[in-house]
Amino acid sequence: MGAIMSAMGSLPANVSTIPMRCLVGATVVFNEPICREHFRLRLGLPGRFSPTKPGQFVQLGCRPPGGGQNQEALLGQCIEWDTAIPPKLTQTELCEELALLRRPFSLAGRGDNATGTWIDVIHRVVGTGTQWLAHLAAGDRVDLIGPLGNQFELPDDKSLGLLVGGGVGLPPMFYLAQWMHQAGWDVVGFVGATTRDLLAVTCNSGQEPDPGGLPTHCIEEFSQFNFPAVVTTDDGSQGLMGRVTDGLEPLLRGLSVPRRRQAVVFVCGPQAMMQATAHLAQAYGVDCQVCLEQAMACGMGTCQSCVVKIHDQPGDIGETGDWRYKLACTDGPVFNAQDVAWA
Ligand SMILES: Cc1cc2nc3c(=O)[nH]c(=O)nc-3n(C[C@H](O)[C@H](O)[C@H](O)COP(=O)(O)OP(=O)(O)OC[C@H]3O[C@@H](n4cnc5c(N)ncnc54)[C@H](O)[C@@H]3O)c2cc1C
Ligand code: FES
């Protein structure tokens, strides 16, 4: 990964600033496979992107900008056909399987240079939209709406970040590591996957993750900031065999009580993994923030498709107290783990 000039950056006066939350056209800088099914997509933006923070996401158009159709050709045309002979469909939109709605992706990194801003997105190929993204190459154009959502909070009285990411929950942790480095926090990364070739990270050559679960400088996304990381795989094919919580628990247990008070667990990944991590943090009296990647459509508070149950009053995790629906896209995606009604 290239050197990061700045998270928000100071740019020359002649570089335009893209206004808060907007539709912006971007150019693919690169789109590299990281492991089976995962790609790192770097997008160059034409000016200075609005300030962003870790936890925020963008809604990527997963099809050619402009909707994949020649709108001018469609407008004002009167199409007539013989009912016995159906018309031949030639518009891209009608011929190809393309994702109609934009897809949400967490910011995995950001930098600013003399010409504008770049942002990183790490995407896993799971369906129509991400299959289209996988074929992007340098110079291709995409458009996105962002930045969207709230962000992870770095409380002033804390200084130790335990960054826990599983599967497609890893990308926001990389951006958070970048941010925490600038804020002067101590960080340990916890990286989990079912198996070695689904680990969406860059392993440093000659630095195998410790099979006993000790933090080492094995993962470039963390080691570039001098942060160690623990790797776990369900099948033991890399790092510690087990769940990501199996890597986190010994570290929490080893912290002194004052150090636990200075720590915050930040977690993103599958719901069961986030819930288990939140329980573990609570058992050790450590604050926990979760990034809920609820399936969503509009990403900006209109469609109500992304509701999550949040306690009115912070309660014990798992307790079925009073709750109300909140929107993962605008109230979140980041919530205090104590506030989430997991059941
Ligand atoms: C705030 C937010 C941030 C995200 N960040 C990332 C990221 O950094 N990297 C990444 O790879 N993915 C991320 N995701 C998930 C990503 O948006 C989906 O994988 C993507 O929308 C799938 O689009 P598709 O067209 O390829 O798949 P589709 O054809 O739409 O769906 C394929 C399958 O994936 C399931 N699916 C779709 N979205 C989700 C979801 N949110 N949770 C669980 N299952 C889902 C569908 O139900 C279906 O089974 C994020 C989601 C949210 C809400
Ligand atoms: S995604 Fe539409 S309201 Fe949240």
Number of C-alpha atoms within 13 angstroms, CB side, residue 143? 13
pLDDT reading at 319 higher than 70: no
Alpha carbon of 305 to ligand 2 centroid (Å): 5
What per-residue confidence (pLDDT) applies to 3? 36
User: Does 297 have pLDDT greater than 90?
Assistant: yes
Non-local (6+) Cβ contacts of 268 within 8 A are 106, 164, 165, 166, 169, 170, 172, 173, 274, 290, 291, 293
- Give the pLDDT of residue 22: 85
Q: Which two tokens stand for residue 210?
A: 């410790």
Which residues are CB-neighbours of 94 under 8 A, at least 6 positions away?
69
* Per-residue model confidence (pLDDT) at position 80: 61
257 alpha carbon – ligand 2 mean position (Å): 40
Q: What does the angle CA 181 – CA 218 – CA 53 come to, to the nearest 5 degrees?
A: 30
Burial letters 4-42, b for 16+ CB under 10 A, else e: beebbbebeeebeebeeeeebebbbebbeebbebbbbbb
Provide the terminal-to-terminal Cα distance of the chain, rounded to the nearest Å: 39
* 3-state SS, residue 338: helix
Helix (H) or strand (E) holding 305: none
Contact call for residues 213 and 204 (beta carbons, < 8 A): no
pLDDT at 317: 53
Taking the CA of 269 as reference, the closest ligand is 1
How many angstroms separate the CA atoms of 260 and 32, rounded? Answer: 38
Give the integer Cα–Cα distance in Å for 264 and 285.
10
pLDDT at site 226: 96
> Given a cut of 90, is residue 2 above it in pLDDT?
no
Nearest CA-CA partner of 200 in 185, 188, 189: 189
Atom of ligand 2 nearest to the CA of 298: 2
What is the position in ligand 2's atom list of the atom closest to the CA of 303? 2
Domains and CATH numbers, the chain: 22-69+85-148 (2.40.30.10), 160-291 (3.40.50.80)
Which region among 56-70, 111-125, 188-202 has the lowest average model confidence (pLDDT)? 56-70
| Rounded Cα–Cα distance for residues 20 and 18 (Å) | 7
Report CA(159)–ligand 1 centroid distance (Å): 32
pLDDT tens figures, 277-288: 999 999 999 999
Is residue 106 a contact partner of residue 268, using CB atoms and an 8 Å limit?
Answer: yes
Q: Per-residue pLDDT tens for 185-241?
A: 999 999 999 999 999 898 888 888 999 999 999 999 999 999 999 999 999 999 999
> Which pLDDT score, from 0 to 100, does residue 168 have?
87
Structure tokens at 309: 């149950």
Number of helices (H), then strands (E), belonging to the chain: the values are 8, 16
Measured CA to CA, the distance from residue 166 to residue 270 in angstroms comes to 7
User: Is residue 16 over pLDDT 80?
Assistant: no
Q: Confidence class of residue 9 from pLDDT cuts 50, 70 and 90?
A: very low
Q: What is the pLDDT of residue 343?
A: 72
Backbone phi, psi, residue 89, to 5° = -85, 120
Residue 286, token pair as written in the block: 């450590």
Pocket of ligand 1 (CB under 6 A): 57, 99, 103-106, 122-124, 126-130, 168, 171, 293-296, 333
